[in-house]
Amino acid sequence: MKTGYVFTFLRKHWGIIATLVGISLFFGLSSQYFFTFYNLLNILNHTTITLILAMGMVFVLASGGIDLSVGSTLGFTGVATALILKAGTPPLLAALCGIGIGALIGAVNGTIIAKFHLQPFIVTLGMLSIVRGLALVFSNGKPIYGFPGIFTTFFAGHVGIPTNIYLTIAIVAFGSIVANKTRFGLYAKSIGGSEASAHICGVNIPLIVILIYVQSGIFASITSFIYMSMMDAAEPLAGLLTEWLEAIAAPIIGGNSLSGGIITIFGTIIGALILATVRSGLNIFGVQPFYQQLFIGLIIIISVIADSIRQRRSRLSRERVVT
């Protein structure tokens, strides 16, 4: 039974596993520095930002939605938490306040989408601009420096390996349990698969949608704590570049669908590792950051095309079964 499960699991994910291995071998054979302990740890370290954001995004995508505001939420919650810390608030309470702010942003997104039946793309695009503006206003457009050592140590210290890696493992484990062992995960997939069927089955769609976006906001807040601890600064423009794009790209590369109805946590992990591996390899080759943007953009486009092909094949397969 276990052997059959492993075989089925590997067959389902062999494509992205082979992609990750192939990319790693290419960079490893091209540079003696790629497979060093320091570089591999650096890849894992930088994967944490994408992966935690992606853990919230997988549920959003599963429900047939999208959250374009996660990068701005990351920036604003970082600024807000930094200001709370600078006011002398204990680190734990400041972190809880930051998480609450992220949850509130998610709740506003989810409520507008669920109650007014608006497109998530439009709602979260508007929230992206609003929250980024708030981050710039509250910080006067300048980074905020200097946080208590216990805060930065917890979110980006070292206990053998960076503590943010331990935190990411815990969040991924939590996401996997929620996705595969709870009604919340089942309801998220059912809404994306067929909202009408979910309604007939008695799913409280507005509530689930709101909770999905709340979860996305919370994970964005936690990511902001890691980001500000790594940099020892709360940057109002944090999350502006590729962070929010990679949070969407990693699940799509991993086999989640823009059309909804699917959650694959393992695939999302591999997707995030692929993006981090490509970025690390390009850094070793000395590729300038603005050229790296081109490669990341190409990966995203290829992932969306692959998702479209998967959806078309799945639809054709269902049609053959019906006929």
Whether pLDDT at 307 is above 80: no
Give, for 127, the enclosing helix (H) or strand (E).
Answer: helix 120-139
Whether pLDDT at 300 is above 90: no
Which of 264, 232, 255, 246 minimizes the C-alpha distance to 85?
232
Which tens digit of pLDDT belongs to each residue from 199-245?
Answer: 999 999 999 999 999 999 999 999 999 999 999 999 999 988 777 88
Q: What is the mean pLDDT of residues 288-300?
A: 80
pLDDT at position 318, please? 63
Of 1-15, 97-111, 273-287, which one has max mean pLDDT? 97-111
Whether pLDDT at 144 is above 80: yes
100 Cβ neighbours under 8 A, 6+ residues apart: none
Q: How far apart are CA 150 and CA 152, in angstroms?
A: 6
Under the banding of pLDDT at 50, 70 and 90, the label for residue 73 is: very high
Q: How far apart are CA 229 and CA 21, in angstroms?
A: 31
- Looking only at Cα atoms, what is the longest distance across the chain? 68
What percentage of the chain exceeds 90 in pLDDT? 73
Q: How far apart are CA 120 and CA 117, in angstroms?
A: 9
Under the banding of pLDDT at 50, 70 and 90, the label for residue 319 is: low
Q: Spelled out in words, what is the top-level CATH class assigned to the domain 33-315?
A: mainly alpha
Q: What is the mean pLDDT of residues 3-25?
A: 81
Q: What is the mean pLDDT of residues 253-272?
A: 92
pLDDT at position 53, please? 96
Which of 76, 114, 109, 135 minimizes the C-alpha distance to 214?
109
43 Cβ neighbours under 8 A, 6+ residues apart: 273, 276, 277, 280
Q: Is 161 helix (H, G, I), strand (E, B) or coil?
A: strand
What percentage of the chain exceeds 70 in pLDDT? 94
Q: Is 148 exposed, middle or buried (0-12, 13-18, 19+ CB in 10 A)?
A: middle
pLDDT at position 90, please? 97
Residue 147 amino acid letter: F
Q: What is the mean pLDDT of residues 79-107?
A: 97
**Domains of the chain, residue spans:** 33-315
pLDDT at position 133, please? 96
Higher pLDDT, 300 or 7: 300
Q: Is 290 exposed, middle or buried (0-12, 13-18, 19+ CB in 10 A)?
A: exposed
Which tens digit of pLDDT belongs to each residue from 174-190?
Answer: 999 999 999 999 999 99
Which tens digit of pLDDT belongs to each residue from 45-54?
Answer: 989 999 999 9
Whether pLDDT at 15 is above 90: no
